[in-house]
Amino acid sequence: MNITIHGIKFQREFVPYIEQLINALHQHNANIFLTAAFQKNLKKSGAKATGFTLLPNREKLEEMDFVISVGGDGTLLDTVSMVGEYEVPILGINTGRMGFLATIAKEDVEKAVEVLYDGKFTIQDRALINLEADQPLFNGVPYGLNEFTIHKRDTSSMITVHTYIDGEYLNSYWADGLIIATPTGSTGYSLSCGGPLISPLAKNFVITPVSPHNLNVRPMIVSDESEITFTIEGRSEKFLISLDSRSTAVDASVKLTVKKEKFVAKLVKFHDYSFFDTLRKKLNWGFDMRN
């Protein structure tokens, strides 16, 4: 197998697990590639790991069987943006806290490699959200796994986001911002703003206002076949837009449209993984301090 390992950064206490991961892959005669960011951090950490190759360019990902993301959910989002249209299956090893996306505990890295080679996993196709604009944005990576967000600048007053579904007027949101989340992103920023939880394989987007001025405005679920367009008004000349953790400032003259991306993110899920079990654990459902 050809396997690429990607990570943005990791703490020194995680080094032994990195060494276990690379050693386990060597035992299965894997061809191991590291992204430049991961190799830099690995070298800085002083890890005793050898027998890998630097990923020469993004196009090389087309030859990969798997990409292993080492970090938290933010790292996995970065991995998705890197993999993009190549649709290489991604396995997330969690060194963070929440772990809705990166679901493999660091203590299970050796077991994870065994499961990959034994084929005891499924691959879930997760919908991505695509941004179309009348000017280049996000360095040619106009898609995200979690959400697209329109937001006011830090010190400005609230903005008005006029929103249209397939050309039909929906609402003018007076708010600090507006989130368009995928089912995967329903457990992220949208959830913290009162949005609903959506099963990962549902065919929907959720529109969630951020601190709306009108309290009768509520999140709304729409088909992911919808094309959602926006015009924005505000006292500030510029406002922020983001795709997952990537943000940029644009002015109100920019035309913005979001819809489902043509390709998907393929996430590796082991047979003992359960989204609902993860919800219960991460959100402490049923937890009672008195017991």
- What is the Cα–Cα distance from 49 to 43, expressed in whole angstroms? 9
Residue with tokens 């920023």: 189
- What is the Cα–Cα distance from 116 to 190, expressed in whole angstroms? 32
Across the beta sheet with 177-181, the strand order is: 220-223, 204-210, 177-181, 147-151, 238-243, 246-251
Structure tokens at 259: 């819809």
Structure tokens at 172: 């003018």
Is 277 in the active site?
no
Q: Which of 73, 176, 224, 244 is catalytic?
A: 73
Count of CB atoms situated within 10 Å of the CB of 216: 5
β-partners of residue 34 are 5, 54
Within 13 Å of residue 173, how many CA atoms lie on the same side as its CB? 27
Contacts of 250 (CB under 8 A, 6+ apart): 133, 135, 137, 238, 239, 240, 241
The residues annotated as belonging to the active site are: 73
